[in-house]
């Protein structure tokens, strides 16, 4: 089944504007025509009343001329008590009575529409008046044009013309404005359609005519900036990951090929330990890559209120370290966190400190205002100020720490930074008297009573 092309936004809005304008014009036009029709009907009745006022005194007081002036009505005819035409306007002279109806006994006036009255053409409104005379009841017929509900033809033509003009004008203005408004959107769409992985530096044009479209273009450009940054980061990460994985694989392959070439000269236990060390490194790297992928996907955290001091104490008691650990913990420091993730941050910071410390590692937890601060400091060589942000890049090893014998996958600090960000916190390197000092700051949690590290 073929998909039918959807109508454009501009076409739908233009048609909607035209229909709305037409409906409004029809409504207003009908009201105007009803008003005009009532006005013409009232005017016709005024003319009939004027004719009655002119002729009745002539009937009662005399003399009644046989030919009456027409005035503002179509025709006038007077019948005496015997039903004989006594007077009329020129067009009815010598003719028969134009009508035979009269008002009933309770009224002196009756009105009917005759098509046509005798001696005249077309449908007209005839009003019959009873005039009481000594010799009997005389009849006065006054003929006026029949007034349609819309008034006059001129009123109808005016309303139709004005409605068409207003509808056409509003439709044209709507089409013009929508075309002008949609032009930047079409430009944005065209630019987005041309962006590929090879030219992620392209940006959509920012129009300044409409605030909403300007904000849309700026948002799209911001999204493209983030996309370019993420793609560049992913490409660099992929290259680094392939390099990091290739190195242990190459080392293991070399050991195995050398053992196969010289089986009798090979120290098999030593070779096996070397291969296992490479496997361990591969396993740690794969696990860290999986952790980073989950953090990048912003998987949900299992937050629970936790006393960070108790969590640090439990983690330090669980593990053994080659360097001396100095604890400086507050009595209580409560945070709302994922315990396993924060424990991973502590372990990564302790592993990094142990690789670079000379003899001692200091772990402290304190409360500073609305934040809980955990610091891990070592007494090693430290990190230059210009390189303190670089250590959080993935697969980054500073020149003083490139020796692989120190261990590590180059992802521990990057993972720790991502976990801190996921908790609305920060992880930075701050100044210290000696060595490096990594500081984790997390939002403090108020309800700290009865909270255990678990």
Same domain, 356 and 371: yes
CATH number of the domain bearing residue 369: 3.30.565.10
- Peptide bond preceding 146: is omega within 30 degrees of 0, i.e. cis? no
Residue whose tokens read 């809980």: 372
Same domain, 291 and 367: no
Look at residue 415 in the predicted model and tell me its pLDDT: 87
Range of the domain at 108: 11-153
Look at residue 408 in the predicted model and tell me its pLDDT: 64
| End residue of a domain, out of 299, 327, 352 | 299
The answer to whether residue 24 sits within a structural domain is yes
The answer to whether residue 232 sits within a structural domain is yes
Rounded-to-integer distance, Cα 92 and Cα 431, Å: 120
CATH number of the domain bearing residue 292: 1.10.287
The answer to whether residue 257 sits within a structural domain is yes
The answer to whether residue 97 sits within a structural domain is yes
Same domain, 18 and 146: yes
Same domain, 17 and 148: yes
Same domain, 268 and 330: no
Q: Please give the average per-residue pLDDT across 236-246, as a whole number.
A: 75
| End residue of a domain, out of 266, 299, 332 | 299
Would you say how long the chain is, in residues?
454
Q: Please give the average per-residue pLDDT across 300-322, as a whole number.
A: 89
Question: Going along 180-322, which residue ranges are E strands?
Answer: 303-307
Same domain, 294 and 332: no
Rounded-to-integer distance, Cα 314 and Cα 339, Å: 11
Domain count, the chain: 3
CATH number of the domain bearing residue 75: 3.30.450.20
Rounded-to-integer distance, Cα 196 and Cα 2, Å: 29
- pLDDT (tens digit per residue) in 337-381: 999 999 999 999 998 999 889 999 999 999 998 999 999 999 988
Report DSSP letters for 215-230, one per residue: HHHHHHHHHHHHHHHH
Rounded-to-integer distance, Cα 141 and Cα 316, Å: 120
Rounded-to-integer distance, Cα 107 and Cα 253, Å: 125
Rounded-to-integer distance, Cα 396 and Cα 65, Å: 123
Same domain, 126 and 227: no
Same domain, 261 and 320: no
- pLDDT (tens digit per residue) in 138-166: 999 999 988 888 888 898 999 999 999 99
Same domain, 260 and 364: no
Rounded-to-integer distance, Cα 277 and Cα 295, Å: 27
- pLDDT (tens digit per residue) in 155-207: 899 999 999 999 999 999 999 888 888 888 888 888 888 888 777 888 888 87
User: Mean of the per-residue pLDDT values for the chain?
Assistant: 86
| End residue of a domain, out of 299, 333, 361 | 299
For 379, list phi and psi in degrees, rounded to 5. Answer: -110, 35
Same domain, 280 and 403: no
User: Which DSSP category does 201 fall into?
Assistant: T
The answer to whether residue 138 sits within a structural domain is yes
Same domain, 320 and 420: yes
Cβ–Cβ under 8 Å, residues 392 and 427: yes
The answer to whether residue 310 sits within a structural domain is yes
Look at residue 5 in the predicted model and tell me its pLDDT: 61
The answer to whether residue 241 sits within a structural domain is yes
pTM metric for this prediction: 0.53
In this predicted structure, the answer to whether residue 308 has a pLDDT above a threshold of 80 is yes
Same domain, 436 and 387: yes
The answer to whether residue 85 sits within a structural domain is yes
């Amino acid at each position: 089944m073929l998909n039918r092309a959807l109508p454009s936004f501009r076409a739908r809005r233009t048609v909607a504007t035209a229909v709305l304008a037409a409906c409004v014009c029809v409504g207003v036009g009908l009201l105007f025509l009803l008003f005009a029709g009532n006005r013409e009907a009232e005017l016709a009745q005024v003319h009939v009343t004027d004719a009655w006022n002119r002729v009745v005194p002539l009937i009662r007081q005399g003399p009644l001329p046989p030919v009456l002036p027409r005035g503002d009505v179509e025709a006038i005819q007077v019948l005496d008590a015997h039903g004989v035409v006594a007077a009329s306007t020129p067009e009815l002279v010598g003719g028969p009575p134009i009508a035979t109806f009269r008002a009933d006994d309770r009224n002196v006036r009756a009105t009917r529409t005759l098509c046509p009255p005798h001696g005249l053409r077309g449908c007209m409104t005839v009003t019959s008046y009873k005039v009481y005379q000594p010799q009997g009841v005389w009849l006065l017929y006054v003929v006026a044009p029949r007034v349609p509900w819309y008034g006059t033809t001129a009123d109808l033509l005016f309303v139709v013309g004005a409605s068409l003009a207003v509808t056409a004008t509003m439709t044209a203005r709507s089409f013009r404005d929508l075309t002008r408004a949609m032009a930047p959107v079409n430009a944005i769409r065209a630019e987005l359609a041309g962006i590929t992985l090879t030219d992620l530096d392209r940006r959509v044009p920012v129009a300044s005519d409409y605030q909403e479209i300007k904000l849309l273009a700026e948002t799209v450009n911001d999204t493209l900036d983030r996309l370019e940054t993420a793609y560049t980061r992913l490409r660099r990460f992929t290259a680094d990951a392939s390099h990091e994985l290739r190195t242990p694989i190459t080392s293991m392959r070399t050991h195995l090929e050398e053992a196969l070439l010289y089986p009798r000269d090979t120290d098999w236990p030593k070779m096996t330990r070397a291969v296992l060390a490479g496997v361990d490194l591969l396993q740690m790297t794969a696990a860290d890559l999986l952790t980073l992928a989950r953090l990048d996907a912003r998987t949900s955290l299992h937050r629970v209120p936790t006393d960070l001091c108790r969590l640090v104490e439990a983690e330090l008691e669980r593990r053994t370290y080659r360097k001396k650990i100095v604890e400086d913990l507050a009595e209580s420091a409560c945070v709302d966190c994922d315990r396993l993730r924060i424990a991973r941050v502590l372990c990564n910071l302790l592993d990094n400190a142990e690789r670079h410390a000379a003899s001692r590692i200091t772990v402290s937890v304190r409360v500073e205002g609305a934040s809980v601060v955990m610091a891990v400091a070592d007494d090693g060589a430290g990190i230059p100020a210009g390189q303190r942000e670089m250590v959080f890049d993935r697969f980054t090893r500073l020149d003083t720490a490139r020796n692989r014998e120190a261990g590590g996958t180059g992802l521990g600090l990057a993972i720790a930074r991502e976990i801190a960000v996921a908790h609305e916190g920060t992880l930075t390197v701050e100044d210290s008297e000696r060595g490096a000092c990594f500081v984790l700051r997390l939002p403090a949690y108020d309800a700290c009573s009865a909270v255990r590290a678990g």
